Amino acid sequence: MYYISDIIRKLMIDRGVNVTTLAHKMNLLQPTLSRKLQNKTEDYKISLLSDIIQALDCEIKIDIIDSESNKVIY
């Protein structure tokens, strides 16, 4: 199972960004972001996840997939 916090941390390593730098790019306090990333079962609002991913110079793509046909609907 993949956790969002693990994926974010891997992106941070790949991009050479630490929590302090990422928090600064997002105008968040470092302890606030650090707590989010330390909790593997943390629920992320799409808006926060989008802000994190954008600060890491990436984008999010969400597909809605029909369960029966396994085809992307939107």
pLDDT tens, position by position, 55-69:
999 999 989 999 999
More confident residue, 39 or 1: 39
Tokens of 14: 């790949």
| Res. 2: pLDDT tops 90 | no
User: Any idea which residue has 């891997």 for tokens?
Assistant: 10
pLDDT tens, position by position, 8-28:
999 999 999 999 999 999 999
pLDDT band at 33 (very low <50, low <70, confident <90, very high): very high
Please tell me the distance from the alpha carbon of residue 50 to that of residue 71, in angstroms, as a whole number: 24
